[in-house]
Amino acid sequence: MLTLEQNATIYLMFLNGLLFLGLNFIAWSTIHIGPRGSKRIGYVLIISALLVFVVQEEYSTLVSLQFPPGKIKEILLVGFCAPVFFISLLYYRVRRGLMEKKSTEKLFTNKDGNEDR
């Protein structure tokens, strides 16, 4: 049987996983903007609202574990949310740049491997 603190820690791990996936999706959607009429912006807004709920749950769980409220904000925002979001943005931007570079190289190369410039 787990103690209350152990259950709270497992719950925080689950919430952090959801937060990571949501922030990763938002970063991906920011870099890969959909075509006109795409529903992706709506999905980003829905995910953002759900992530606010997740952060509130994490905050209340950390308060129940008797963390000081000032430190909780630093832990959640500076320790997890901001780094995950900005690292995901950087990752998808670099990945998109590499994919665009490969596609332009394929465009200028014919089947024999000779360049068509």
Task: From 98, 78, 101, select the one nearest 90 (Cα to Cα).
Answer: 98
Q: Is the pLDDT of residue 13 over 70?
A: yes
Cα(112)–Cα(106) distance, integer angstroms: 12
Cα(40)–Cα(46) distance, integer angstroms: 10
Percent of the chain with pLDDT over 70: 93
> How would DSSP label each residue in 82-113?
HHHHHHHHHHHHHHHHHHHHHHHHHHTB-TTS
- State residue 114's pLDDT score: 62
Q: pLDDT digit string (tens) for 18-54?
A: 999 999 999 999 898 888 888 888 999 999 999 999 9
Q: What is the mean pLDDT of residues 3-32?
A: 93
Q: What is the pTM of this model?
A: 0.81
Cα(98)–Cα(83) distance, integer angstroms: 22
